Amino acid sequence: MPHQHKHPHPHQHHGQSHDGHHHTDYNRAFIVGLVLNGGFVIAEFVFGLLAHSVSLIADAGHNLSDVLGLIISWGAIVLSRRQPSSRYTYGWRKSSILATFLNAIFLLVVTGGIIWEAIQRLLQPDSMVEGGVIIIVAAIGIAINTGTALMFLAGRKGDMNIRAVFLHMAADALVSFGVVLSGIAIIFTKWFWLDPAFSLVISALIIFSTWELLKDSFNLAIDGVPNDIDERAVRTYLAECQGVTQVHDLHIWNMSTVDTALTAHLVMPTGHPRDDFLMQISQELRERFGIEHTTLQIESGDPDHPCVLINNCRKEE
């Protein structure tokens, strides 16, 4: 009979507090971010048309992607806190991973549209671009996006979903800064092609920063081992536990952007250990590797009744 050990209160290894105050703080951040960015999208698009600026219009499109990204991430955080049920035994925790993945894809798609429009304008520069309007509107964008990004600064390292929101906002502030520079350059040089040229440079920077997020979130979406956990080190630790002669069917994956789980089969010929042995392993895995949810199966290694999953993992090297 498999023995399962599950501690009732996941340890917050990544610094992600799960208390109500923390959630309230993020709710406030999402609300403020949505209101400010939603209003700015409309204003920036209108002034972009009036100023004949593709960089302003592109920035408005990028801001719109952030508004939708905020909605997706906020919704995922709410869903991930839903209690487990008989049908969803982990609850909806993985929705935060899917939200991160969708945000990365969406940001890349929107950036692709910006690049296409910038190339069209680069081939046919618009001589009616108004640098002054560009500078003022983009400067407001820097303030709004920087302020919103700072509200998510603290949680960016512990929660990939919050990191996605932070990157969106930081990228938007960078876009707005580039737009300001293009406006200044256009006023002094009358080189109207600088407007779309700046859009291309900033788009490249956004793609570079988003690509890593896309890879990381995809890795978690297919239950890959989190980047900050060394599977070999975990396997070695388990194999060196007293009484353990073999470790197999080891799996490590993220249940959400902040919760990590592990399952493993431990062969112990001396027989089933005491509960304090299992508790110690779970505590060590939590403190050393940030694995909060551990499930272990103990086997005696009886050759007449081998585990059918003994080869259902990567080969030892």
Question: Which of 10-14, 23-27, 60-64 tops mean pLDDT?
Answer: 60-64
Closest C-alpha to 250, from 284, 299, 295, 216? 295
**Contact between residue 273 and residue 282 where contact means Cβ atoms under 8 Å apart:** no
The domain made up of 20-221 has a fold known as Alpha-lytic protease prodomain-like (1.20.1510)
Mean pLDDT of 231-244: 93
Residues β-bridged to residue 266: 247, 298
CA 26 to chain CA mean position, Å:
15
Query: How many residues would you count in the chain?
Result: 317
Strand 246-254 vs strand 260-267: parallel, antiparallel, or unpaired? antiparallel
- Give the start-to-end residue ranges of the domains of the chain: 20-221, 231-299
Confidence tier at 127 by pLDDT (50, 70, 90): low
The Cα–Cα gap between 149 and 140 comes to 14
**Contact between residue 44 and residue 56 where contact means Cβ atoms under 8 Å apart:** yes
Is residue 46 exposed (0-12), middle (13-18) or buried (19+ Cβ within 10 Å)?
Answer: middle
**Contact between residue 110 and residue 171 where contact means Cβ atoms under 8 Å apart:** no
- pLDDT reported for residue 203: 79
The single-letter DSSP state of residue 8 is: S
Is the pLDDT confidence value at 22 over 80? no
Q: pLDDT averaged over the chain?
A: 79
Tell me the pTM.
0.65
**Higher per-residue pLDDT: 167 or 126:** 167
Quickly count: other Cβ atoms within 10 Å of residue 28's Cβ. 11
**Higher per-residue pLDDT: 188 or 199:** 188
Mean pLDDT of 68-83: 78
- pLDDT reported for residue 247: 92
Q: Percentage helix, strand, coil, to 5, in the chain? A: 60, 10, 30
- pLDDT reported for residue 314: 53
Closest C-alpha to 264, from 290, 244, 242? 244
Residue 305 exposure: Cα atoms within 13 Å on the Cβ side:
6
What is the CATH code for 231-299?
Answer: 3.30.70.1350
